Amino acid sequence: MTDLHAAAKRCLDAIDPAEKLRLTHATWQAFQADTLHPDPASPLPDPIAAPGRPGRPKLVNARQVPQRGLGSAEGRAALVHAVAHIEFNAINLAWDAVYRYRGKPAAYYRDWASCANDEARHFAMLQGRLAELGHVYGDFDAHDGLWAMAEKTAHHDTARMALVPRVLEARGLDVTPGMIERLRHLGDTGTVAILEVILREEVAHVAAGTRWYHHCCERDGLEPVSTFFELLRDYMGVSLRGPFNLPARREAGFVEEELDRLTALALESRAVL
């Protein structure tokens, strides 16, 4: 196989997590070795559907996912599981970005194939930590918010780049430092070490979203800041949670006007609630 789009689809469709990780690493290695290329003759992408994933975890509405305190081993395992589920989704999101959107610069495909490889490594680390805590992926219920947004934006590469990396995945930049601090206080150094790696590397993933969002805006003659907030309103309403990790978001390419407006929107959302 030399077609990168077909290889991405194979990763996306893999059901067993171990096979998805194996294919992801192999595809990234082949891309680096210059034996995989986006093929202009590749068949057009299929309409978006659920990616390959195991029968568990059970997917429920986000409001139905139990909230567990970190003071118990079970609560810490549930947290690790929740992050693992996000990383598993992120593998699929990155490969869908490679598979679905055609005619992009080579750097676009490199960014998202590299991201998929990173997310697979993160998932593997979290799986290992889950095992140390006496659990496996699938032991806790999870929700499907990330993939639901992928489905909503499948037809619109600008919206995908704006809303999946720069809103949903960027939320990890905001909440992970607090999780690290609480876990460090509880003495869970094993989980802390993994989350520190993920936080550091996720900045680059959100930055890739910023880079290709701006590319889409430039292509279409759109002003990026106003367009971002129009997309946010159209696809997500104005319900936003703060506070925001401003240094990490700046590093990921957010400009001050965006950060000011995001902060104001989060305050409005709190006032409505």
pLDDT (tens digit, 9 = 90+) per residue, 12-65? 999 999 999 999 999 999 999 999 999 999 999 999 999 999 999 998 876 766
> Smallest Cα–Cα separation from 90: which of 126, 133, 43, 131?
126
3-state SS class at 181? helix
**Structure token pair of residue 62:** 């986000």
Q: Distance of alpha carbon 81 from its chain centroid, rounded? A: 15
pLDDT value at 272 more than 80? no
Q: How far apart are CA 251 and CA 72, in angstroms?
A: 34
Give the pLDDT score at 71. 76
Q: Name which of 240, 99, 84 is nearest 166 in CA terms.
A: 240
Residue 189 token pair:
């150094």
The confidence score (pLDDT) of residue 233 equals 93
Q: What is the pLDDT of residue 67?
A: 72
Q: What are the sequence ranges of the domains in the chain?
A: 4-272
CA-to-CA dists, residue 39 to 4, 8, 102, 116, 231, angstroms = 7, 12, 9, 19, 30
At 215 the pLDDT is 98
Q: Which residues contact 125 (CB under 8 A, 6 or more apart)?
A: 194, 197
- Residue 245: CB atoms within 10 A of its CB come to 21
Written as one string, the DSSP assignment of 68-95 is --TTSHHHHHHHHHHHHHHHHHHHHHHH
Task: State the Cα–Cα distance between residues 170 and 71, nearest whole angstrom.
Answer: 26
Whether the model pTM is above 0.85: yes
Q: How confident is the model at residue 270 (pLDDT cuts 50, 70, 90)?
A: low
Cross-strand pairs, 3: 37
pLDDT of 181 reads: 96
pLDDT in tens, 123-154: 999 999 999 999 999 999 998 888 999 999 99
Mean pLDDT of 117-121: 98
Alpha helices in the chain (DSSP H): 4-13, 17-32, 73-100, 106-132, 145-152, 157-163, 171-185, 189-220, 224-236, 246-251, 256-272
pLDDT-above-90 percentage for the chain: 86
Q: What is the pLDDT of residue 238?
A: 67
3-state class (DSSP) for residue 164? helix
The contacts of residue 82 (CB under 8 Å, 6+ apart) are 65, 140, 142
Give pLDDT tens digits for 200-248: 999 999 999 999 999 999 999 999 999 999 999 999 986 788 899 999 9
Tokens 């880079």 identify what position?
Answer: 211
For residue 47, the tally of other CB atoms under 10 A from its CB is 9
Give the pLDDT band (50/70/90) at residue 273.
very low
- Topology annotation, domain 4-272: Ferritin (1.20.1260)
Question: Is residue 159 within 8 Å of 220, Cβ to Cβ?
Answer: no
